[in-house]
Structure 1
Amino acid sequence: MAAYDDRDGFIWMDGKLVPWREANVHILTHAMHYASSVFEGERAYGGTIFKSREHSERLKKSANLIDFEIPYSVDELEAAKYEVMKANGLTDAYVRPVAWRGAGEDMGVASRRNPVRTAIAVWEWGAYYGDAKLKGAKLDISRWKRPSPETAPSQAKAAGLYMICTMSKHAAEAKGCSDAMMFDYRGYVAEATGANIFFVKDGEVHTPKPDCFLNGITRQTVIGMLHDRQIKVVERHIEPGELEGFQQCWLTGTAAEVTPVGQIGDYNFEVGALAREMVDSYEKLVRA
């Protein structure tokens, strides 16, 4: 694939379609210096963006949580997503809306006089973890922890919160892993760098309580799928020592979809029947 700044096609930017290579911002854009940016990750299947409106609503909420207002309504964002998909001739695609404080009169921590910019890009993107859906992903354990909600707006999908995720994933890849699992500031199991995590023990599903990290839309979808199957889901704080007793594990996220995990650090998991069922059922749901 070509570099992301050197492709044919169009990106929707501030209300109009712009040729891909011309969708640029100034070097003194506030977000580049102070992380004043929020984004979404979405997937379209057969021309329909899964949970699209929920993503647009969360994008607006994330902006509010980091103290700015996106100058487009949810309906306008929805129309723009489908406009840019059509312009690029895509029906199965990854969709990336992003909003940020741009360049303006302010160039310091404060930036109220700077315009809020908005863009939406779409591209083809296959399986996030390669063949892990068959074999199970291998995860490192990150040395970085998800911060307390008293130190960062943990329910915002904000760019600045992903800095330690990038560092964690780089360290994991250097060890031959697909990703890293992170603990939270208290030492409880939290999530992977860009996906929520689930465990299976004796027919019950356990997943960390999202009180200091993003309660993912895919996470909520999968919990609903499990409830429909009359499978008990326990949302709670999970101690690191409990990893040894879990039999199965999987990750959820727009990019990850549902991906089984075969190993986290020294702990091994079976790519079992329930994990495989959730992979298949989610695939059917998003394409229904």
Structure 2
Amino acid sequence: MAGYDDRDGHIWVDGKLVPWRDANVHILTHALHYASSVFEGERAYNGKIFKSREHSERLKRSANMIDFEIPYSIDQIEAAKEEVLKTSGLSDAYVRAIAWRGAGEDMGVASARNPVRMAIAAWEWGAYYGDAKMKGAKLDISKWKRPSPETIPSHAKAAGLYMICTMSKHAAEAKGCSDAMMFDYRGYVAEATGANIFFVKDGEVHTPDPDCFLNGITRQTVIGMLKDRGIKVHERHIMPEELEGFEQCWLTGTAAEVTPVGQIGDYNFEVGALTRDIAEAYEKLVRE
């Protein structure tokens, strides 16, 4: 597969489709220097983006949280995504929408005079964790912690918030792991680098309270599925020492979908019946 800068096709940029290789920005783009960008990762199944409008709404909210306004309405963003998906010729695809402060009159921390730009691309992308969807992912435990909401807009899907996620995942991959689990600034279990986390004990599900990290759209979908099945879901603070007592574990995210976890650090988990049931039910739901 060619690099992401060297492919055929088109990317929607600022209201029009441009050839993939020409979808570039200036080196003095503000977002490149100061991380002033927000994005969404979405999946299309059978030609339809799952929870598309919810993603578009979150993109707009994320921009507001980091102090800029995307110059397109929800309806315009939805139409642009449909255009990109149709042009791509893909039925199943990963869709990336991104908005950022571009190059303009300002080139310092402040950038109020710079234009806000937006782009949407789509490409084919299989299982995020490869064969982990069958045997269970192996996770490292990151040395980096999700920061306090007093220090960052923790509920924005903003590029800058992923810096420690990238570092954590690189460290995990160097150890032969698929990903890393992160604690929050208080020491509670938080999430993986790009996915929310769930645990099972005695037939009930436990998942961290997303009070300082992203409350994922897939996370919310899966909680709804569990409740529809009459399964009790505890959204709460989870201490590290509780990991030893959990029987099953899985990750959720648009890219990850529902991925079983077999190991976190020294803790092992069964890829059990509930995990498989939810993974299979989610796969069916997104294709309805």
TM-score past 0.5 threshold: yes
CA–CA separation in structure 2 for the residues paired with 1:179 and 1:157: 19
TM-score, normalized by length of structure 1? Answer: 1.00
Measure, in 2, the Cα distance between the counterparts of 1:95 and 1:87.
12
Offset, 1:116 = 0.1
For 2:286, the aligned partner's letter is: V
TM-score by length of 2: 1.00
Cα distance, 1:141 vs structure 2: 0.1
- The match for 1:277 is 277
Cα deviation, 1:224-262, whole Å, max 9, x if unaligned, reads: 000000000000000000000000000000000000000
> In the comparison of the two structures, how many residue pairs are matched?
288
3-state secondary structure, aligned to 2:180: strand
Within-5 A mapping of 1:133-148: 133-148=133-148
Local SS of the residue matching 1:125: coil
Residues 1:236 and 2:236 are matched in the alignment: yes
Q: Is 1:286 matched up with 2:286?
A: yes
CA distance in 1, matches of 2:278, 2:203: 14
Distance apart, 1:96 and its partner CA: 0.1
- Aligned counterparts, 1:1-288, within 5 A: 1-288=1-288
Q: CA deviation at 1:125?
A: 0.1
Any idea what SS the aligned residue of 2:105 has?
Answer: coil
SS of 1:53's partner is helix
Aligned mates of 1:82, 1:2 — CA distance in 2: 24
Matched to 1:195, the amino acid is A
Gaps of 5+ in 2: none
Distance (whole Å) between structure 2 residues aligned to residue 6 and residue 61 of structure 1: 31
Q: What code does the residue aligned with 1:266 have?
A: D
Question: For 1:101 and 1:235, how far apart are their aligned partners in 2?
Answer: 35
SS at match of 1:41: strand
List runs of 5+ in structure 1 lacking aligned partners.
none
How far apart are the structure 1 equivalents of 2:283 and 2:117? Answer: 34
Q: Secondary structure at the match of 1:85?
A: helix
Amino acid across the alignment from 1:104? G
Separation of aligned partners in 2, 1:111 and 1:153: 18
**Separation in 2, partners of 1:87, 1:260:** 34
Q: CA deviation at 1:8?
A: 0.1
- Distance in 2 between residues matched to 1:252 and 1:89, nearest whole Å: 27
* AA at the equivalent of 1:92: D
- Residue 88 of structure 1 deviates from its aligned partner by 1.4
How far the C-alpha of 1:203 sits from its partner, in A, is 0.4
Instruction: Work out the CA distance in 1 between the residues paired with 2:190 and 2:278.
Output: 20
- The whole-number CA distance in structure 1 between the counterparts of 2:57 and 2:263 is 35
Structure 1 letter corresponding to 2:115: P
TM superposition outliers: structure 1 runs of 4+ over 3 Å: none
The Cα offsets for residues 110-161 of structure 1, whole Å up to 9 and x where unpaired, read as 0000000000000000000001111000000000000000000011000000
Amino acid at match of 2:146: R
The amino acid that maps onto 1:161 is L
Q: Separation in 2 of the partners of 1:157 and 1:133?
A: 25
SS of the residue aligned with 2:141? strand
Deviations 1:57-107 (A, max 9, x none): 000000000000000000000000010111111111000000000000000
Q: Secondary structure at the match of 2:154?
A: coil
Q: Write out per-residue CA displacement over residues 249-284 of structure 1, whole angstroms, 9 at most, x where no aligned residue.
A: 000000000000000000000000000001100000
Q: How far apart, CA to CA, are the structure 2 residues paired with 1:88 and 1:210? A: 35
For residues 9 and 276 of structure 1, the distance between their equivalents in structure 2, rounded to whole angstroms, comes to 36
CA distance in 2, matches of 1:166, 1:209: 22
Residue type of the alignment partner of 1:81: K
- The one-letter amino acid paired with 2:166 is T
